[in-house]
Amino acid sequence: MSKEVGITVSKNENFSEWYTQVVLKAELADYAPVKGLIVLRPHGYAIWEAIKSSLDEKLKKSGHENGFMPILIPESLLSKEKTHFKGFNPEVFWVTHSGENELGERLALRPTSETLVNSLYSKWIKSWRDLPLKINFWNSALRAEIKATKPFLRTSEYLWQEGHTVHSTEEEAEQEVMDILEIYKKTIEEELAIPLITGKKSENEKFVGAVYTNTMEAIMPDGKGLQMGTSHFLGQNFAKPFEVKFLDKNNVENYGWQTSWGVSWRLIGAMIMVHGDDRGLVMPPKVASIQVVIVPIYYSGDDRKDIIAKADEAQKRLQEKKIRVRVDKRDELTPGFKFNEWEMKGIPLRIEIGPKDLAKNKVVLVRRDTQKKTDLQFDKIDTVVASTLDEIQKNLFDNAKKILKEKTTEVDDYEDFKTQLEKGMFLKAPWCGNQKCEEKIKNETGADIRVIPFNSENTESKCVICKSSSEVIVIFGRGY
């Protein structure tokens, strides 16, 4: 592979440029003609499909159904919940015309659908029999980005799912908020192989309109935090202005208790950053559209036929074990070119079959994560490939967990805090709970409270800023 085709910078030396090259050269995404927007190429979209399919199955099993909401929300509706509108207004795209005609009222491209959903839920819900109502929407959201675009991390339109639920009791709604966080955590840790810290957002950082926001935070190799998804307890903050009411078993009218929650294609960005290396993308086997690529190696037409036949046989054996596999039969490219291309595209495992392998009835197995090569008897191909994919999945998670541990440090002194932050660390620090201390840190260092981990109450230590009694130990860091 020529220099131009492959990744030309090192992940350690120029992380930002490395990321962009992986996105573009592994053909995950490309820039759209409108600034701030991206396009997903098939290799990138297939990863989103894998995440979507896994999450969708879990949501359906837990009683959620899918629906569709249109992308246009009238201004009067979006502005009905005031805090919410204030939060989103600066980044809303406004439709003012259809064809040559000016519209009577401006229409917003949905930045999120709480207002639209609730205007309908108030019609659909009449009695306790209609609850819980748990609907999820696989769509896109639009929020005009002023800062520099970063594919998957910061774009003006992004793919996501947004769930919106209504419950008859506060307890049930709060349980839903936690159940969803658990579903997300399972998907991200077990499939994307990215370890998380879960907990609450501070008042400053919570979703506009929520009572509180639960969040999942991951650390990236450059020491910055990435919010991986959120699950909000909305209380009755939307139910009241939108009149989402129900008659209970005693025929008494009550407001519903609500939640909303979402994860986006940002998860793909995290996957790239956490697992990728100088050769390009590394996909965890569970979300890889292709888990194994078979590269037949031949130098003459005679060899070709037999080797392709063996490769096809291997594919068949693996497919029977539900392993997603492709045979690369392109004649016009050298094996070396193919190796590099599939490595850059992050396929977890490569199988090489050449004339000598054929003679010995073996194949060569090459792991993407460790680059380790091993010879393998052909007869054992299905069991060994399956177990190797499991090992790769585990190895990627273990490595990511090690990084999270290494990059998290405890501090209780503000000078130490600043020193460690510059080294690209996540900081576990005591906080008094006062927004002024939080804001001081943000203004002076650019770090904010990424997450208040669950069960982090602590009254023994002193706030890292004001030295008054601490309420909790929180995670500070700079974020994406």
Which residues of this protein are in contact with a second copy, per CB under 8 A? 30, 32-34, 37-42, 44-46, 48-49, 65-74, 77, 89-100, 106-107, 109, 116, 119-120, 123-124, 129, 135, 140, 142, 144, 156-157, 159, 330, 332
Q: Minimum distance between the CB of residue 157 and a second copy, rounded to whole angstroms? A: 5
Nearer to a second copy, 5 or 309 (CB): 5
**Strand 373-377 versus strand 101-109 pairing type:** unpaired
Cβ distance to a second copy smaller for residue 119 or 202:
119
Nearest CB to a second copy, comparing residues 126 and 402? 126
- Rounded Cα–Cα distance for residues 208 and 361 (Å): 62
CB of 93 to a second copy, least distance (A): 5
Q: How far is the CB of 67 from a second copy (least distance, A)?
A: 5
Token pair for 261 = 């929650």
Give 96 or 377: the residue with its C-beta nearer to a second copy. Answer: 96
User: Could you give the CA distance from residue 443 to residue 434 in angstroms, rounded to a whole number?
Assistant: 15
Q: 101-104 contacts: CB < 8 A, separation 24 or more?
A: none
Is 86 in a helix, a strand, or coil? Answer: helix
- Determine contact, residues 217/225, Cβ cutoff 8 Å: yes
Q: DSSP code of 462?
A: B
Q: Which is nearer to a second copy, 334 or 435 (CB)?
A: 334
Strands 408-410, 426-431: parallel, antiparallel or unpaired by DSSP?
parallel
Q: How far is the CB of 314 from a second copy (least distance, A)?
A: 21
Among residues 227, 136, 229, which one has the least CA distance to residue 181? 229
Which of residues 14 and 319 has its CB atom nearest to a second copy in the complex? 319
Residue 94 Cβ vs a second copy, minimum distance, rounded to whole Å:
4
Residue 90 vs 301, nearer CB to a second copy: 90
Which of 225, 103, 110, 233 lies closest to 178, judged by CA? 233
SS3 state of residue 336? helix
We find the least distance from the C-beta atom of residue 448 to a second copy, in angstroms, to be 23
Angle at 464 between CA 459 and CA 469, to 5 degrees: 30
Minimum distance from residue 332 beta carbon to a second copy (Å)? 6
